[in-house]
Chain A
Amino acid sequence: MTRSPRRSRRLLLAAPAAAVLLGLAACGGTAAAGGGGGDDGGTFRFALASDPSCLNPRVSGNNDAAYPSRQLVDSLTDQDPETGAIKPWLASSFAVNKAATQFTFTLRDGVTFSDGTPLTADVVKQNFDEIISHGAAQAQSLQFLTGYQRTVVVDDTTARVEFGQPNAQFLQATASHFLGLLAPSSLAVDPVNRCDANIVGTGPFVLDHYTRNTEVVETRRAGYAWGSSLWTHTGEAASARLEFKVIPEAAVRSGSLKSGQVDAIGGVPPQDESTITAGGVTLQVRPNPGQVFTLTPNVRRPALKDVRVRQALSLAVDRASVVKAALSPSYKPATSPVASTTPGYVDLSSRLTYDPERAKTLLDAAGWVPGADGIREKDGQRLTLVTYWATNFNPNQAALELIQQQARQVGIEIDLNSVPIGELQAKLATGDFDLSWGNSTRPDPDILRNTYWRDGTAPYGITDAALVKALKGQQTTVDARSRAADAATAQKVIVDQALGVPVFELTTVLGLRPGVTGVRFDSYSRLQLVAAAATRS
């Protein structure tokens, strides 16, 4: 009787020891530089920070899904990362009517999908129709087609997309990978079966295979000759093969890069930046455009209905010290609800200051007085803000724990609850929350409409007339200057009314091994790998 428990005990004790050994093995790595790849341009190996889970460009919203997915499809237009201007890609020219309801695209000649079918105006129509017909399964793309009526096939190379209401953001959306064009054979497949196969595009790479939680392998598309007008690289991709390895452990990812097992990594852990650059690795850094990481209050809640409480929260957050402690010098504190790389961004840093004393004064004025443990109370209610956040970005937890401490200094208690990223929106939709923490990437001011208002369906209960007017305004005009004016108004209202408490800009930090060239950021700060190559010494 005493034998068997003793043996199981020994096994249990052996388990952590084995784990430690495995960890050490992973850290040690092997100096495998020089391995892999043939002579035909070789293999480019990239380590992803999480499993992409679905490569269908229509739904691949997060960075790690977008990286492999972006290489498979081309878009009608491309967006200049510097200026935000929309430039030709698969559409050699395009035009928008004044009311922002009709978008006409003239297609480039000679473009074919990897299954051999040519790109025609009818295929463009099929692409947009399919998004509408499979709307629920591809909500990430459906949001760009609000008010879609039809696509008119004017002739073989001309397609006109028509909307029943102004939809100015649509032109930018055609530059995103979400609306990248798929072949008819691919559209015939139900979206649920388009995550690890059946993705046929015109892109510089073709999907070879995707093994969940392991890797995505793509091969060079022979005869590719329709790169974006913004690229300096022309013709076929520089590397014959792309391998995206899924390496979720941050320390292992850094180790793989240092040891040369991969050529580049995404999601460089902020704390490892200085050690890996010391080893010769270069960092390629760009803030993600769109909504920065923000605490967004639910203004339906009695406490947060009061603008003074929201402003106090914003004043209590010491953005510079969050960046210093939880992140790295590659990241910047937020200076607006949108990141500095977003078209239409205005610098509002003078209104996003750290002033705990003023925060306390505001809370006093709002009737919240400190209780026994320092947390403020009013009518027997504690000032506890239930916050939901997703674990999609590693430093989130440290950043939020620090913000929690800072809020406590002025008497606000933040109750942190993490949920998987896929469940966050559903959780917020119940309305049972005080704050949500998150960001969303898009190089267009329309991101503000989609985040804060969503035509009245956003979970935060925002009804501010000035904000709604500005958000509607930017949607109804294609005139860049008047869109920018509306976007500026929206940003100011959000900051002044503290309808969002922006904290820091999500920044894409890539680590590149020496000898890696041609890794380019598109306007979303995501990878365009057509020119990427790794020379191995």
Chain B
Amino acid sequence: MSAATLDPRVDPVRRSTAPVLARLPAPGVVLAAAWLVLVVLAAAAPTLLSGTDPYAADTGALLQPPSAHHWFGTDQIGRDLYSRVVHGSSLSLRATLVAVAVGVCLGAAVGLVAGAAGGWVDAVLMRLVDVLLAIPSLLLSLAIITVLGFGTLNVAVAVGFGSVAACARVMRAEVLRVHGSTYVEASASLGVRRPTVLLRHVLPNAAGPVLVLAALDFGTAVLAVSSLSFLGYGAKPPTPEWGSLVASGRDFLGSGWWLTTLPGLVIVATVLAANRLARALEGRREGDLR
């Protein structure tokens, strides 16, 4: 999705697409990709992976350990945990995507404007970004969510805001790099209007690293969204969400380890898989640039 798919007619530096197919991905990358496909499938069509109603309480089967019948066991009121994790992935994943989208779009816009405008606009925007960077992103998200109110979408927006600063910085650096290129100068001297130059030439060529950063952010966003929903800022009960599943199980560490451990492992696996895949992407991009 990064360099290879970008419009090749504009940047001669990037025309090294040939050996990509020859390079076989590492087994870790394949595993990570497979896991993410599974998670996306769970989010898109949860009924495919689990036929059980995630809300159906069965008071005859309370706190059952994992078994062939209940893969992840049951919770304190007899709901099937596997089904809750599967159905919860849709909300968690959607929140993550919104968070990443908010972070990337806002960050890229700020970076683009700052890099292109230069001067005092650049100085003001970048000092604001510095201020944002000075605050830990989770803390910033917490502050935002107390203003926005509770709910999964609000959690997502808050997490997105937390990653605006990093995106803006990367975008600005790329814009500055691309801005000095001859083809940009050329189109400007041909009389193309400035906004068109920015959108047609600067943005596509500067977007690559930002998109890689977005992929990297995906893993941390999963974690941040889950953290906030663990703290109770997410969806209303009984709607399952990964973080809130871990939270509601923590009173049962003594009597039902699976309630926290298994949803926790799903989060860990997703974060790791996203990171592995993003690193692979990043490596490929760096290879392309070399």
Chain A residues proximal to chain B, CB less than 8 Å: 1-2, 5, 9, 12-13, 15-16, 20, 23, 27, 249-251, 254-255, 269, 271-272, 275, 321, 324-326, 394, 397-398, 400-402, 404-405, 408, 415-418
0/1 per residue, B37-70, Cβ < 8 Å to A? Answer: 0000000000000000001110100110000000
A-chain residues with CB within 8 Å of residue B185 when the two chains form the complex: none
Which of B213, B237, B264 makes the CB contact (< 8 A) with A416?
A: B237
The answer to whether A2 and B76 touch across the interface, beta carbons within 8 angstroms, is no
The answer to whether B254 and A325 touch across the interface, beta carbons within 8 angstroms, is no
Closest residue to A24 on the B side, CB-wise?
B253
Known A1-B209, A249-B251, A398-B248; 8 more pairs at CB < 8 Å: A13-B223, A13-B275, A15-B223, A251-B253, A255-B254, A271-B254, A397-B237, A405-B238
A-chain residues with CB within 8 Å of residue B111 when the two chains form the complex: none
Q: How many residues of B contact A (CB 8 A)?
A: 38
Closest residue to A399 on the B side, CB-wise?
B77
0/1 per residue, B238-259, Cβ < 8 Å to A? Answer: 1000000000101111111000
0/1 per residue, B246-279, Cβ < 8 Å to A? Answer: 0010111111100000001001100110010000
0/1 per residue, B209-233, Cβ < 8 Å to A? Answer: 1000100100110010000000010
7 contacts between A and B (CB under 8 A): A16-B264, A20-B264, A251-B253, A397-B237, A401-B77, A416-B236, A418-B237
8 smallest A-B Cβ distances: which pairs? A251-B253, A401-B238, A250-B251, A321-B59, A325-B77, A405-B57, A325-B59, A271-B255
Whether B166 is near chain A, meaning CB under 8 Å from some CB there, is yes
Closest residue to B63 on the A side, CB-wise?
A271
The answer to whether B78 and A325 touch across the interface, beta carbons within 8 angstroms, is yes
Given the interface pairs A13-B271, A398-B76, the reply to whether A271 lies near B57 with Cβ below 8 Å is no
The answer to whether B57 and A251 touch across the interface, beta carbons within 8 angstroms, is no
Whole-angstrom distance from the CB of B162 to the nearest CB of chain A? 12
Whether B144 is near chain A, meaning CB under 8 Å from some CB there, is no
Whole-angstrom distance from the CB of B234 to the nearest CB of chain A? 12
Whole-angstrom distance from the CB of B104 to the nearest CB of chain A? 14
Chain B residues proximal to chain A, CB less than 8 Å: 55-57, 59, 62-63, 76-78, 166, 170, 173, 209, 213, 216, 219-220, 223, 232, 236-238, 248, 250-256, 264, 267-268, 271-272, 275, 282, 286
Whole-angstrom distance from the CB of A331 to the nearest CB of chain B? 14
The answer to whether A325 and B238 touch across the interface, beta carbons within 8 angstroms, is no
Q: What's the Cα separation between A530 and B220 when bound, in Å?
A: 53
The answer to whether A325 and B62 touch across the interface, beta carbons within 8 angstroms, is yes
Q: What's the Cα separation between A105 and B76 when bound, in Å?
A: 51
Whole-angstrom distance from the CB of A15 to the nearest CB of chain B? 8
Closest residue to A254 on the B side, CB-wise?
B254
Given the interface pairs A2-B282, A5-B216, A325-B77, the reply to whether A16 lies near B268 with Cβ below 8 Å is yes
Given the interface pairs A5-B213, A405-B56, A405-B57, the reply to whether A251 lies near B268 with Cβ below 8 Å is no
Which of A16, A271, A326, A408 makes the CB contact (< 8 A) with B223?
A: A16
Closest residue to A272 on the B side, CB-wise?
B254
Which of A2, A250, A402, A418 makes the CB contact (< 8 A) with B57?
A: A402
Q: What's the Cα separation between A416 and B244 when bound, in Å?
A: 15
Q: What's the Cα separation between A394 and B252 when bound, in Å?
A: 12
